[in-house]
């Protein structure tokens, strides 16, 4: 890493919340208790598609200890969601997937709540249903939403350049189809919510990635002013995109609290997470690529058929983002994309780490390897030849302001021993390469991509950092604290982070699109500079110097080459007593990006992109088809490394998650029913499956990022699936084009034979 000359930035500093989590002091939503708190439970639909004829709550209300029973008819019937609100907070007239919330109860204990659920009588009229994209789009198929005949929930078209000319200029054109599966988030902490309603004010503690967005949707669903709602995010045990939206737990807890007049807590168990949570969008991707004999890309044509499940959720953004990665990573002058997201009666597909890029990159990186082998080209050289560079103006209107993609490819291949492997490959082992890019914040929604932060410097030297951003386990509170500490020259022990409380902290749009380091980080930097300037101007008058001459370091403020030196705490105290006000600075950062045109996709929605490359090294057991990932070498362009240890943790966690998707994870659905709704049956990586990770950092110092930093968390997972897939192909000589790469699939496709020349 580059020598920054900073005291805090670039240092591997333990997380600010680490001691509380290690000692058990950290409170998660499920840990919070309020006097008189009731137990809330949700009744889920047993049908994937049915009309609700009647909900009889009389018997449930008579259960001793029951304080409230609510159903869809007790709601306003308001539909919520961004970029196309189509989902009721609780089903009113119809259910569209098995697990949809139909009613809820609040009782004094679990037994009473469970008994009340069993006594709720719901009369349904089962309706014909559709469970795959092809069936949903057929003429005459059952309609999931009455106002959407044809079941197309989202359709995105993109055309850049002249596709016909591009393929005509190509020496090799290859086309194939790749399939990704339904994957569940499996956050360690299930969804949970606790609501209290008193004096016309509703307070909600929630497992949310975006308190301000949840407040907005909840206010609409309840018909309340946003000012009467307070949303607080306690410590959070993972989100990965699955906690971006208003959930059944949030709405049920709030509505039950209002009806009962008592605090109500609603917790999902693990089975409910599978039935009622979100999933990654399953996709079938038909991809055609044209390339000249030297490996230069000429054209790409992509058709993505996407299973969106019962509601839109974040589907519009996912299908749009999937298109962009075709032009923002490996250049091609002629690109066409059609993404069709269908309504089905499967569980809802929503945001999941990678947000559509992961699926498209899986297809493209696999097809690129196939073409490189066909032309006798080195797979790494093909990527290097087509990699975007600083200053490139891309077909969708994006200008590349910083980029270390080529260096990432070189570092990842070098640390993996890629060249030695290709020259002397051992039997049944393989190496595979894949690349990625990812936004550092993105203006997809009508609102600007903005964050605000407030800094208060107390007379005792404590610096309070108020941020609306949500640390969901990725360590963003620590990153933001480091930025504030560097600007003010204070030690980390003197920074206190107050975060994610809509009544106390300033606005932040939430945790998504790897935006916190870049967007929230810039806001924190501006606020810290504002506080520093107040103290600098105050002392400059006393010391007869210019404010910019003062040095803020090691909890002191000094004027170099003089005897003037004062502890920051003393300066803040003097400011309070003499100026009669605290040192307070509230600042907002807006990236200033335009919202890309929905029809053409043209426009720079993100100011910065991170880039990365991964090389997977695997061994395959021919007798069983089992894959052992021996190592993954990762190199990531992070702009500037604020906290190298945090980056290493992100690499290891993301690659473990990507390994699960590639080799183990798959939700088995039968007519909308999840057949493996537990962690016993749905396999996620344990310490035995998580591969060793070699994590390299590439610093490009982005001109717009805070201290040059960019966001990287989501991008780390994107290349893992194609890297492992390409490595398995390198090992067995056979290409599998459908995830996951289960031992059964590998064993069957090998058929006991090796064909080393086929890739």
Specify the pLDDT at position 446: 78
Cβ neighbors of 1 (< 8 A, separation 6 or more) are: 10, 641, 644, 697, 699
Q: Closest Cα to residue 666, out of 680, 676, 654?
A: 676
How far apart, in whole angstroms, are the C-alpha atoms of residue 631 and residue 32?
41
How far apart, in whole angstroms, are the C-alpha atoms of residue 56 and residue 297?
62
Name the DSSP class of 549. Answer: G
Average pLDDT, the chain: 96
The answer to whether the Cα torsion of 554, 555, 560, 561 is positive or negative is: negative
The model's pTM is 0.96
DSSP letter string, 662-728: HHT----EETTEES--STTTS----TTTSPPEEEEEEE---SSSGGG----TGGGGTTHHHHHHHHH
The torsion of the CA quartet 729, 732, 738, 743, rounded to 10 degrees, works out to: -140
Which tokens sit at 471? 């640390």
Helix 357-375 to helix 379-386 angle, to the nearest 10 degrees? Answer: 120
Cis check for the bond before 740: say yes or no (omega within 30 of 0): yes
CATH number belonging to the domain at 32-127+188-238+243-276, selected among 2.60.40.10, 3.10.20.30, 3.90.1170.50, 3.40.50.920: 3.90.1170.50
Buried/exposed 495-526: b ≥16 CB within 10 Å, e otherwise: bebebbbbeebbbbbbbbbbbbbbbbbbbbbb
How far apart, in whole angstroms, are the C-alpha atoms of residue 216 and residue 115?
33
CA distance readout (Å), 680 to 270, 330, 676, 677: 11, 40, 8, 8
Specify the pLDDT at position 1: 62
Which tokens sit at 587? 């600042």
Domain ranges for the chain: 18-26+450-590, 32-127+188-238+243-276, 279-443+597-750
DSSP letter string, 130-147: --SHHHHTSTTPPPSSTT
Specify the pLDDT at position 751: 77
Specify the pLDDT at position 318: 96
Say which CATH class 279-443+597-750 falls into.
alpha beta
Specify the pLDDT at position 281: 98
In sequence order, the β-bridge partners of residue 615 are 433, 633
Specify the pLDDT at position 84: 85
The torsion of the CA quartet 80, 85, 91, 93, rounded to 10 degrees, works out to: 140
DSSP letter string, 426-472: PTTEEEEEEEEEEESS---SSS-SEEEEEEEE-TTS-EEEEE----S
Specify the pLDDT at position 758: 40
Q: Are 120 and 105 in contact (CB under 8 A)?
A: yes
Q: Closest Cα to residue 198, out of 262, 140, 137?
A: 262
How far apart, in whole angstroms, are the C-alpha atoms of residue 178 and residue 67?
52
Strand order from edge to edge, sheet including 66-71: 66-71, 101-107, 38-44, 264-267, 192-198, 201-206, 229-232
How far apart, in whole angstroms, are the C-alpha atoms of residue 479 and residue 544?
35
Q: How far is CA 260 from the centre of its chain?
A: 35
Q: Are 672 and 346 in contact (CB under 8 A)?
A: yes
Q: Are 324 and 364 in contact (CB under 8 A)?
A: no
CB atoms within 10 A of CB 449: 25
Specify the pLDDT at position 750: 82
Specify the pLDDT at position 754: 46
Which tokens sit at 108? 């004094």
Which stretch of DSSP H or E encloses residue 611?
strand 609-620
Say which CATH class 18-26+450-590 falls into.
alpha beta
Q: Closest Cα to residue 321, out of 520, 508, 156?
A: 156
Q: Are 217 and 314 in contact (CB under 8 A)?
A: no
* CA atoms within 13 Å, Cβ hemisphere of 442: 19
Q: Are 612 and 647 in contact (CB under 8 A)?
A: no
Q: Do domains 18-26+450-590 and 279-443+597-750 have the same CATH topology?
A: yes
Specify the pLDDT at position 2: 62
Which tokens sit at 178? 């790749």
How far apart, in whole angstroms, are the C-alpha atoms of residue 495 and residue 478?
10
Q: How far is CA 221 from the centre of its chain?
A: 25
Which stretch of DSSP H or E encloses residue 739?
none
* CA atoms within 13 Å, Cβ hemisphere of 430: 25
Judged by phi (left if over 0) then psi (alpha if -120 to 50, else beta), residue 737 lies in alpha
How far apart, in whole angstroms, are the C-alpha atoms of residue 12 and residue 642?
8
Q: Closest Cα to residue 292, out of 177, 380, 410, 174?
A: 174
Q: Classify 274 as helix, strand or coil.
A: helix
In this prediction, the residues of the chain whose per-residue pLDDT falls under 70 are 1-4, 752-759
């Amino acid at each position: 890493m580059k020598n920054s000359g900073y005291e805090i930035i670039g240092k591997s500093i333990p997380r600010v919340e680490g001691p509380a989590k290690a000692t058990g002091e950290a409170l998660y939503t499920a840990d919070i208790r309020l006097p008189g708190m009731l137990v809330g439970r949700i009744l889920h639909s047993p049908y994937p598609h049915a009309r609700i004829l009647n909900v009889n709550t009389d018997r449930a209300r008579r259960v001793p200890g029951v304080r409230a029973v609510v159903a869809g008819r007790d709601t306003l019937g308001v539909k919520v969601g961004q970029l196309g609100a189509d989902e009721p907070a609780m089903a009113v007239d119809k259910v569209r997937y098995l697990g949809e919330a139909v009613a809820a109860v609040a009782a004094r204990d679990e037994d009473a709540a469970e008994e009340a659920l069993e006594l709720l009588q719901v009369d349904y009229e089962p309706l014909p249903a559709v469970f795959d994209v092809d069936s949903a789009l057929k003429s005459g198929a059952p309609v999931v939403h009455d106002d959407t005949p044809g079941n197309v929930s989202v359709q995105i078209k993109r055309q850049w350049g002249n596709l016909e000319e591009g393929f005509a200029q190509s020496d090799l054109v290859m086309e194939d189809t790749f399939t990704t599966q339904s994957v569940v988030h499996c956050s360690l902490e299930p969804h949970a919510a606790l609501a209290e309603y008193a004096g016309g004010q509703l307070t909600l503690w929630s497992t949310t990635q975006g308190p301000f967005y949840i407040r907005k949707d909840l206010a609409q669903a309840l018909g309340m002013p946003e000012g009467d709602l307070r949303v607080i995010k306690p410590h959070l045990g993972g989100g990965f995109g699955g906690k971006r939206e208003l959930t059944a737990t949030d709405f049920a807890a709030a509505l039950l609290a209002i009806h009962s007049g008592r605090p109500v807590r609603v917790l999902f168990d693990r089975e409910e997470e599978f039935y009622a949570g979100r999933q990654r969008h399953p996709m079938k991707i038909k991809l055609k690529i044209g390339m000249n004999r030297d490996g230069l890309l000429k054209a790409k044509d992509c058709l993505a058929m996407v299973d969106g499940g019962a509601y839109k959720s974040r589907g519009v953004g996912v299908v749009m983002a999937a298109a962009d990665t075709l032009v923002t990573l490996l250049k091609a002058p002629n690109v066409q994309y059609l993404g069709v997201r269908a309504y089905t009666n499967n569980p809802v597909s929503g945001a999941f780490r990678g947000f559509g890029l992961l699926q498209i990159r899986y297809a493209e990186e696999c097809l690129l390897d196939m073409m490189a082998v066909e032309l006798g080209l080195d797979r790494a050289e093909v990527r290097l030849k087509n990699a975007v560079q600083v200053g490139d103006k891309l077909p969708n209107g994006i200008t590349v302001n910083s980029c270390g993609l080529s260096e990432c490819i070189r570092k990842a291949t070098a640390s993996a021993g890629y060249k030695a492997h290709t020259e002397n490959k051992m039997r049944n082992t393989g190496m595979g390469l894949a690349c990625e890019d990812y936004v550092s914040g993105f203006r997809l929604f009508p609102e600007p991509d903005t964050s605000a932060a407030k800094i208060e410097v107390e007379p005792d030297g404590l610096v309070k950092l108020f941020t609306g951003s949500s640390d969901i386990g990725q360590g963003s509170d620590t990153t933001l604290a480091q930025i504030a500490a560097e600007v003010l020259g204070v030690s980390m022990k003197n920074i206190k982070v107050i975060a994610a409380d809509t009544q106390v902290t300033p606005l932040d749009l939430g945790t998504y699109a790897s935006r916190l380091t870049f967007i929230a980080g810039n806001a924190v930097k501006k606020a810290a500079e504002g506080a520093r300037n107040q103290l600098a101007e105050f002392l400059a008058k006393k010391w007869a110097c210019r404010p910019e001459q003062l040095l803020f370091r090691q909890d002191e403020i000094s004027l170099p080459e003089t005897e003037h030196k004062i502890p920051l705490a003393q300066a803040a105290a003097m400011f309070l007593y003499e100026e009669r006000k605290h040192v307070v600075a509230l600042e907002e950062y807006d990236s200033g990006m335009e919202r890309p045109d929905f029809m053409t996709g043209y426009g720079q929605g993100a100011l910065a992109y991170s880039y990365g490359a991964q090389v997977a090294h695997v061994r395959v057991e021919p007798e069983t088809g089992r894959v052992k990932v021996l190592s993954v070498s990762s190199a990531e362009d992070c702009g500037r490394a604020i906290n190298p240890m945090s980056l290493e943790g992100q690499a290891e966690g993301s690659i473990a998650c990507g390994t699960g998707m590639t080799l183990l994870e798959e939700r088995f659905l039968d007519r909308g029913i999840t057949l493996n709704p537990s962690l016993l049956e749905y396999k996620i990586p344990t310490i035995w499956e998580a591969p060793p990770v070699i994590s390299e950092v590439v610093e490009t110092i982005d001109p717009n990022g805070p201290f040059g930093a960019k966001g990287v968390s989501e991008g780390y997972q994107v290349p893992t699936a194609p890297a492992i897939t390409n490595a398995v192909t390198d090992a067995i000589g056979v290409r599998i084009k459908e995830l996951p790469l289960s031992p059964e699939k590998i064993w069957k496709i090998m058929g006991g034979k090796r064909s080393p020349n086929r890739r």
